[in-house]
Structure 1
Amino acid sequence: MDEWYKLDNAGKMFHAVSEQTNSSVFRIAAVMKKIVQPDKLQQALDDVLKRLPMFAVKLRKGVFWDFLVENNEKLFVQPESQYPCAPIDPLETNGFLLRVTYYKKRIAVEFFHSVTDGTGALEFIKALIFYYLSYLEEDVAYESALIDIHNQPSYYERDDSYQNYVTDEKTEKFKETSSYQIRGIPIDQTIAVHGKMSAEKVHQLAKEHGTTITAFVTAILIAAIYKERLQYRAYKEEIKIAVPVNLRSLFPSNTLRNFFGVVNIGMSVTETTTLEEIITETSKQLRKKVQKENLQQSINDRVKWQMRLAARFIPLPLKYRAIRYGYRSFSERTKAMTLTNMGKVRLPDSMESHISHMEMVMYPTKKSPINGGMIAVGDELVITFARMIQEADIIRTFFRELSKTYNLEIEVYSNDSR
Structure 2
Amino acid sequence: MFWYYLEQTERRARVVPEHAPPCSPLYEDSRSSLFEVSYWKNKINFDVFHVVADGAGAIEMLQTLVTEYVSLAHDLDLCQPPRAAMDERMEDGFQKYYKSDGRSSKRERKPRAYRLPHRGGDLKVYEGVCDVKQVLDAAHRYNTTLTVYLAAVMFQAIHGGMYVRDRKKPVVLTVPVDLRSYFPSHTARNFFSIIRASYAFNERSGEFSDILEQTAVAFKRELTAENLAARLNTLAALEHNFLLRPIPLFIKYPVLLLSGLISDVGETAALSNIGKFQLPDAVAPYVKAFGVFVGTDALQLCTCSYNGQLHLGFTTTMRDPSVIRRVFARLTQDGVSLEVRSNTMYGEGS
Q: Given the two structures, how large is their TM-score scaled by the length of structure 1?
A: 0.77
CA deviation digits over 1:347-386, x for unaligned, max 9? 2232222221111101112xxx211111110111010111
2:310 aligned with 1:376, yes or no? Answer: no
CA shift for structure 1 position 138 = 4.9
Q: Are the counterparts in 1 of residues 175 and 271 from structure 2 also a CA contact under 8 Å? A: yes
- Give the letter for the 2:251 counterpart: L
CA RMSD of the aligned region, Å?
2.2
2:220 aligned with 1:292, yes or no? Answer: no
In structure 2, the partner of 1:259 is 191
Partners of 2:130 and 2:141 lie apart in 1 by 18
Unaligned ranges ≥5, structure 2: none
1:23-34, aligned counterparts within 5 Å?
none
2:32 aligned with 1:95, yes or no? Answer: yes
Structure 1's 196 and 260: CA in aligned 2 closer, same or farther, altered over 3 A? Answer: same
2:329 aligned with 1:400, yes or no? Answer: yes
**Secondary structure in 1 matching 2:153:** helix
CA shift for structure 1 position 174 = 4.7
- Give the letter for the 1:79 counterpart: P
Structure 1's 234 and 190: CA in aligned 2 closer, same or farther, altered over 3 A? Answer: closer
Partners of 1:364 and 1:309 lie apart in 2 by 32
1:250-399, aligned counterparts within 5 Å?
250-270=182-202, 272-308=205-241, 311-329=244-262, 331-365=263-297, 369-399=298-328
2:338 aligned with 1:410, yes or no? Answer: yes
Q: Are the counterparts in 1 of residues 63 and 277 from structure 2 also a CA contact under 8 Å? A: no
Partners of 1:362 and 1:128 lie apart in 2 by 19
CA shift for structure 1 position 197 = 0.5
Partners of 2:80 and 2:149 lie apart in 1 by 32
- Give the letter for the 2:58 counterpart: A
Q: Are the counterparts in 1 of residues 26 and 32 from structure 2 also a CA contact under 8 Å? A: no
Unaligned ranges ≥5, structure 1: 1-62
**Secondary structure in 1 matching 2:52:** coil
Structure 1's 126 and 254: CA in aligned 2 closer, same or farther, altered over 3 A? Answer: same
Structure 1's 138 and 408: CA in aligned 2 closer, same or farther, altered over 3 A? Answer: farther
Partners of 1:140 and 1:373 lie apart in 2 by 33
CA deviation digits over 1:256-287, x for unaligned, max 9? 00000000111112583211111121112112
Partners of 2:25 and 2:80 lie apart in 1 by 34
Structure 1's 401 and 309: CA in aligned 2 closer, same or farther, altered over 3 A? Answer: farther
Partners of 1:309 and 1:399 lie apart in 2 by 49
**Secondary structure in 1 matching 2:282:** helix
- Give the letter for the 1:95 counterpart: S
CA shift for structure 1 position 142 = 4.7
> Is 271-280 or 79-88 further displaced after alignment?
271-280
- Give the letter for the 2:183 counterpart: F
**Secondary structure in 2 matching 1:69:** coil
- Give the letter for the 1:83 counterpart: P
CA deviation digits over 1:320-356, x for unaligned, max 9? 2222211211x21221011111112232232222221
- Give the letter for the 1:166 counterpart: Y
Count of matched residue positions in the alignment of Structure 1 and Structure 2: 343
1:22-61, aligned counterparts within 5 Å?
none
Identify which of 70, 79, 83 aligns with 2:17.
79
Partners of 1:228 and 1:82 lie apart in 2 by 31
More strand by proportion, 1 or 2?
1
In structure 1, the partner of 2:111 is 177
**Secondary structure in 2 matching 1:359:** coil
2:157 aligned with 1:224, yes or no? Answer: yes
1:99-114, aligned counterparts within 5 Å?
99-114=36-51
